[in-house]
Amino acid sequence: MTDLSHLRKDFPILEREMNGKPLVYLDSAATSQKPVQVLDAVDDYYRRLNANVHRGAYQLGEEATDAYEGARAKVAGFINAASDREVVFTRSTTAAINHIGYGWGLYHLKPGDRIVISHMEHHANVVPWQLITRHTGAELAYLPLTEDYLVDTSRIDEVVDGRTKIVSISGMSNVLGTIGPVAEAVAAARAVGALAIVDGAQLVPHCAVDVQSMGADFVAFSAHKMLGPTGVGVLWGRMDRLEEMEPAEGGGEMIRDVDFTESTWAEVPHKFEAGTPPIAQAIGLGAAVDYLSAIGMDAVRQHEIEITRYALEKLSEIPQLTIYGPMDPAQRGAAVSFTLGDIHPHDLATILDQEGVAIRAGHHCAKPLMRVLGLAATARASFYVYNVPEEVDTLVAGLHEARRIFGVA
């Protein structure tokens, strides 16, 4: 197995105990832990560089601006953007998708137009489009799932028809782990002249992503799922698409000129970054990018394939445990959802917590998918660079304890 265990020393939180047991953190799909390099970068900003950016004509402000814009350059390099200007800092993946909806959708959609997503989407890639359809009269259509939990693209040309103006697909499901059919979705969008959007919240932290070769118009992702701070996300967009978008938020920083009747906008990307931006958080994201780059995203992906394979094998041996998602680790990410007999997932999470194991239980902000699965909730264990096989063993032991407590045969 690809051994990244030496990285664990960089994550101070992993030294903690929960209920007298070593912390086994298996909820990275919700938010990842932060290495000391990221913590130090954020701390250094507040201790040495704390000033607003793009405004102060003094050295401290210039240093803060350089650090902030330096983080933008790091992110651009990480995803192979054609220009730093294609990287917009937002609050989150959710905010980034809302920027597209309100900055592009409101101005280009009309009654009868179609927005296409899939049944496995996170609410961040469902609810904004529902709101936009209310404003514009466009309709929302869905790509279904196959029996083996993949997005069914067999009839994509029928769903993505001539009325389609937006195709927005998850690069990786936060529930099923399923890797989305990005290439097929982009091709289908291109064939009808539609916008192609990728929700990369789960994809970018776990796989090497080249936005230029991907071919999409927009990719959205969040720092906190890739070892960075909360409160900052990224909207990457092709320059021509960003130029034709209107800002979804107005205020300071994003203007070129303001008078009493109208305003004009600053150049991309600043026209989308109204108000004081998440300076410290962006700098922390830059440090996270450095950290992941030093590991190598191919190594990150290989590690996750191996630890997910091990987890799937061990979980499959537990009687009455059902796994939801592809069983081939090459077709999925490291989020593994499951149920165990008739034990409620919240009860499983509570019992595992007594063993120091942190998993997620619930609908995972994917209620439409839960309805497709015929479930109210699942338990979910999700892995990242700091997890080791021994933690899978601890998870399995805790599930056997739950079986004992609830009398599951």
Is residue 230 exposed (0-12), middle (13-18) or buried (19+ Cβ within 10 Å)? Answer: middle
* The three-state (H, E, C) secondary structure of 46-82, written as one string: HHHHCCCCCCCCCHHHHHHHHHHHHHHHHHHHHCCCC
In a 13 Å sphere around the CA of 386, the CA atoms on its Cβ side amount to 23
Tell me which amino acid residue 359 is. I
Neighbours of 162 (CB within 10 A): 9
Neighbours of 91 (CB within 10 A): 18
Tell me which amino acid residue 216 is. A
Q: Is 394 helix (H, G, I), strand (E, B) or coil?
A: helix
The question of whether 365 is a catalytic residue gets the answer yes
List all residues 6 or more positions away from 154 whose beta carbon is below 8 Å from its beta carbon: none
Is-contact 364 380, C-beta < 8 A? yes
Q: Which of 209, 205, 203 is nearest to 79 (CA)?
A: 209
Say how far apart CA 303 and CA 298 lie, in whole Å: 9
Q: Is 335 helix (H, G, I), strand (E, B) or coil?
A: strand
Say how far apart CA 234 and CA 335 lie, in whole Å: 22
Q: Which of 127, 365, 372, 408 is flagged as catalytic?
A: 365
Please report which residue ranges of 79-137 form alpha helices under DSSP H: 93-100, 106-108, 127-136
How wide is the angle at C-alpha 92 spanned by C-alphas 89 and 95, nearest 5°? 90
Q: Is 2 helix (H, G, I), strand (E, B) or coil?
A: coil
Say how far apart CA 392 and CA 383 lie, in whole Å: 9
Is-contact 202 29, C-beta < 8 A? yes
Say how far apart CA 100 and CA 98 lie, in whole Å: 5
Q: Which residues are catalytic, by number?
A: 365
